[in-house]
Structure 1
Amino acid sequence: MIAQTSYQTQSLKDVAVDYLTKKIMTGEYKPNEKINEVQVANELGISRAPIREGIKELSSQGLVTQIPRKGTYVVELTEKDIHEIYQIRVSLENCIIDKIVRDNKLKEKDFKFLEKKIETMEEIANSDDDFNSKKIKINREDIKFHKYIWEKADSPRRQEILFDLHRQLQMAMLFDTEMTGDLKNTAETHKDIVKYLRAGDAKNAKTALVDHIEMYKMK
């Protein structure tokens, strides 16, 4: 009955989405593993209907694939998939940086927020938690950092594409962090992005973004 404490604040579908996402992101569900709806429903103490709704949402986000008459399976991202995700991200986020700098979208309170996110990532990286736990927590803060910038750009179509992609982006980032193992550098690479955005230097802010993403990208 894991979901009982979430009933008052979330829909049952959202409970299912959060539960399944966590299992995928932590690696408890492996790539290509089949998701058993009955088992998940029993674990959460809810009916299968919201599980199916949650799976449909995760399918639209690219975390699972539904195969007719066979079931639902966790997506396995190939190296080609990861490179494509990063390419799309760089293209869109570079445009967002240009717009933010050109229109002076970020104020001091925004920079303080972004700097606080970096501090949080550094604290997590230096904590005594196990590597897998730190990896997931830093990834969550990393996404929050960039989503904040996406939202500030007032570019709804780019934002929508990035938001639709962000679950796959999380998967790619988690996979590559597992490969590099460099959590402290993950936090550190955000500092130059903020430094150049604060200076109104779009060119170097975009270079810093690419450097940050290249740190993740598989060689």
Structure 2
Amino acid sequence: MTTKQTSYPTAVAQVYEAIKRRILDGSYQPHEYVRETSVAKELEVSRTPVREALRELVSEGWLEAIPHHGARVTAWTEQDAQEVFEIRLLLEPLAIHRATQHIQPAQLKQLQQLAKRMELLAEQASDSARNEIAALNHEFHRELIRASGSQRLAMVLDMVVRTSVTRRNLQKYQHDHLLRSMRHHREMLVAIESGNAQWAENVMRAHLLAARDLHLQFEDAGGG
């Protein structure tokens, strides 16, 4: 009995992370249904933790529940994308400003490792490498926000960043776009390490503006 009580929440967490990662890396596309039975079989778990993980992902906005059909990946409209960028442009510079003041050495080291992994992947041209960058990019921004030391700010931004507008554009980025994004990440960390909050803010703002500009270019070109 004790073993079941211990393993059940672990199984839910594992299923939750597996599904979320597939959403982030594009394995699950917008409006695609995530089937309880299929996930349970693939991950070799019972349907109960899968059901709980799906409920949590629905409550957080990763999935939407469709009556009599199941849970499917949430699709974001152009208005959603615009609003996400507006909010991020207001709050992420604030988050990195605070991170410059409150970041712990272990957090900085983790962010440097994430940046390095993305830089190495950016040298590859494969779709799988770009998918991996997308997931790591999400983790990078999430950890940077957590380093702000503000739980409220982290909670608000986590709900926004998880939409990961840039994820669906990474396959369309030219190589120099990817490299520019990697340089932004690295410069943010240099600014944080130097304790220059204004510098860090400016780089974050430029980073988000560049991403928004590319997103708009794709939309104008019919990129969807």
Provide the C-alpha distance between the structure 2 equivalents of 1:9 and 1:123, rounded to a whole number of angstroms.
36
Secondary structure of 1:146's aligned partner: helix
> 1:168 offset after TM fit, Å?
1.6
Counterpart position of 2:3: none
Matches within 5 A, 1:1-219: 11-101=10-100, 104-106=101-103, 111=108, 113-127=110-124, 131-169=126-164, 172-181=165-174, 182-217=177-212, 218-219=215-216
Residues 143-181 of structure 1, C-alpha deviations (whole Å, 9 max, x = no match):
333333322322110012223334322xx2211212324
Aligned 8 A contact 1:26 1:132 in 2: no
> 1:14 offset after TM fit, Å?
1.9
TM-score by length of 1: 0.79
How many residue pairs are counted as aligned between the two chains? 207
TM-score by length of 2: 0.77
Provide the C-alpha distance between the structure 1 equivalents of 2:98 and 2:112, rounded to a whole number of angstroms.
20
- The percentage of aligned residue pairs carrying the same residue is 25
Provide the C-alpha distance between the structure 1 equivalents of 2:143 and 2:18, rounded to a whole number of angstroms.
24
Structure 1 residues without counterparts, runs of 5 or longer: 1-6
Structure 1 residues 201, 50: CA separation in 2 closer, same or farther (over 3 Å shift)? Answer: same
Counterpart position of 2:221: none
Secondary structure of 2:72's aligned partner: strand
Residues 24-74 of structure 1, C-alpha deviations (whole Å, 9 max, x = no match):
233332211222222222333333221111111111222210022232111
Secondary structure of 2:86's aligned partner: helix
What is the identity, as a one-letter code, of the residue corresponding to 1:149? L
> 1:88 offset after TM fit, Å?
1.9
